[in-house]
Structure 1
Amino acid sequence: MATHAKAQQERQNISSGGAYEDVFGYSRAVAKRGHIHVSGTCAPADFEGRSAYEQAKAALKTISMALHAAGAELTDVVRTVVYVRDIADADDVARAHLETFGSIRPASTLVQVTSMLRAWQLVEIEAYALIG
């Protein structure tokens, strides 16, 4: 029991305040022992109808805020996974990713998926960071 309590103390759950966090039961990010895992992140609802580039930039901003809450920076990101609904948006999403990570160069994967939670969402991004 004491070991589990100590492990829990080392864990930091980070919320972005998204309504779906309580519906689905997840955290925007979880930090533990220098590892930060940022959940798949889409643009907020006020980006409905906006381009994949704009949605990617908004998702990356949310990711940056979650990293900061965990004591990390974008420079600590070692991997991203990018999901697009339409592979035709890959170049626009790649441009947003390059603007954010061009000098950092994390390992990355970009894949097309058939759908996302909301029909207007065009891109979702996960990030993994290491600190310490």
Structure 2
Amino acid sequence: MTCKVRLVRSPELAQTVEYAYAAVADVPMRAVWVAGACPLDGDGATVAVGDVAGQTHQVMRNLVTALRSAGAELTDVAKTTVYVASSRQKDLGEAWRVYREYMGDHDVPSTLLGVAVLGYDDQLVEVEAVALLPGEGD
């Protein structure tokens, strides 16, 4: 049995958004909480300093790797939060465009936030995710 996250798009809410308003999955399920994926290379150095898009690509590659290590894929994700260390909507939009490239048609509920600072030197982007998988024995 495979996990089926069903995305909900309410006809009573704006249809112009690039994400579902909710996600539903039947239980029993196994949940995977992924720590915020950061724009770090294998040595722990921040990549693409000053480049929102470049950092978002690295973040999404790292997110895919973390999910796979837990036995999940991007299509198992039920919710994400995208953090961008900027007060400029242009920067948030740039991170969102790259994020959407990776998520494709799986437009899960997501929150996009501009924040003052992130944890690593020169870090501009971070993405955290919750994925759902079939429960043990399914």
TM-score normalised according to structure 1 size: 0.70
* 1:124 correspondence with 2:120: no
The residue that corresponds to 1:37 in the other structure is: 33
Deviation string, structure 1 residues 1-48 (Cα, Å, up to 9, x no partner): xxxxxxxxxxxxxxxxxxxxxxxxxxxxxxxx6101000121012505
Tell whether the 8 Å contact from 2:35 to 2:128 is kept in structure 1 after alignment.
yes
Conserved? CA contact 1:48–1:121, under 8 Å: no
Between 1:103-112 and 1:44-53, the stretch displaced more is: 44-53
What are the ranges of 5 or more consecutive residues in structure 2 without an aligned counterpart? 1-28
Tell me how far apart the structure 2 counterparts of residues 111 and 70 of structure 1 sit (CA, whole Å): 26
C-alpha distance in 2 between matches for 1:48 and 1:100: 18
Aligned position for 2:99: 97
Q: 1:41 is matched by which residue type in structure 2? A: A
Match of 2:68 in 1: 68
Residues 48 and 54 in structure 2, CA contact (< 8 A), matched pair in contact too: no
Q: Which runs of 5+ in 1 are unaligned?
A: 1-32
Give the letter aligned to residue 96 of structure 1: V
Percent identity between the two aligned chains: 35
Q: Which has the higher helix share?
A: 1
Q: CA deviation at 1:117?
A: 1.7
Structure 1 residues 27-86: Cα deviation after superposition (integer angstroms, max 9, x where no partner):
xxxxxx610100012101250525111111111111111111111111101111011111
User: What amino acid is aligned across from residue 120 of structure 2 in structure 1?
Assistant: R
Counterpart of 2:58 in structure 1 is 58
The CA deviation at 1:119 is 3.7
- On the 8 A contact 2:46/2:120 being kept in 1, the answer is no
Supply the RMSD in Å over aligned alpha carbons: 1.4
User: Is the CA contact (8 Å cut-off) linking 1:39 and 1:126 kept in structure 2?
Assistant: yes
8 Å Cα contact 2:74/2:103 also seen in 1: yes
* Bigger RCO of structures 1 and 2 (CA < 8 A, at least 6 apart): 2
- Amino acid in structure 2 at the alignment position of 1:60: M
Q: 1:66 & 1:38 partners in 2: Cα distance? A: 7
